[in-house]
Each structure stands twice: as C-alpha cells, then as structure tokens.
Amino acid sequence: MTKTPQELADYLRRANAWRRSDTDEPMPDPTELGQAIDQVIAILEKQAQPQTIARSECCDAPAVLEGKPGSTQWYACPHCCAPCDVYYHDSKPTQS
C-alpha cells in the first residue's frame, strides 16, 4: 500500500522510536518497514533529479504556460502576462 509522505514520516518515526526502545510500540513488520523505506528512497530520488524550467527572456522569471492542453500553448511572462520568448534552465536540487 502506498502511503502519503506524512504517513511515511509518522510510520518511520514510530519504527525508530521502537528501535531506540523509546516506546512500548510493538516491533514493526519487517516487510512493511522495508516497503516504507523503499517509498522514501523513491521520493528522495525523484526530488534529486534536475528539472527543466522555462524562463521568460524579458524578466528571467519562470514563465507561465498558457493556452489549452493538447492544443495551442505558449509561455507568458508572469509579471506583464504578455506572450514571451523563453529559454530553458536546468534546475539543480539544493543540498542543505
């Protein structure tokens, strides 16, 4: 079963409290614990991937995609809302 990020965090906190003997929680199911860890790894790997961002040439801000999906679409400047030329920028995840 796929858990939300908040459910994963709560589950892993409880499992870690059990591991440290900080609680009277029962031992977590090893299969469920492994699946939770795998889900967290998948989330972290997805977040670590660079993403391509269309930026407006007129103000260097991330451009807004306008129009109808599957039809005519264009980018607009987020500040003046006018159609604009864009360039693509690969964002790199920040590490803290």
pLDDT in tens, 9-52: 999 999 999 999 988 888 999 999 999 999 999 998 888 777 67
- Please report the pLDDT score of residue 41 as a whole number: 93
- Please report the pLDDT score of residue 36 as a whole number: 95
Q: Residue 96: inside a domain, yes or no?
A: no
Check pLDDT > 60 for residue 96.
Answer: no
Q: Are 84 and 76 in contact (CB under 8 A)?
A: yes
12 with 37, same domain?
Answer: yes
40 with 59, same domain?
Answer: no
Which residue(s) pair with 73 in the sheet? Answer: 67
Check pLDDT > 80 for residue 5.
Answer: yes
Domain count along the chain = 2
Q: Residue 80: inside a domain, yes or no?
A: yes
Q: Kindly list the distances between the CA atom of residue 64 and the CA atoms of 29, 73, 91, in Å, as whole numbers in the listed order.
A: 46, 10, 16
- Put simply, whether the predicted model's pTM sits higher than 0.85 gets the answer no
Domain span at 9: 5-48
pLDDT in tens, 79-94: 777 777 776 777 666 5
* Beta-sheet pairing, 51-56 with 86-91: antiparallel
pLDDT in tens, 62-79: 777 777 766 677 778 777
| Sequence-ordered strand ranges (E) for the chain | 51-56, 64-67, 73-76, 86-91
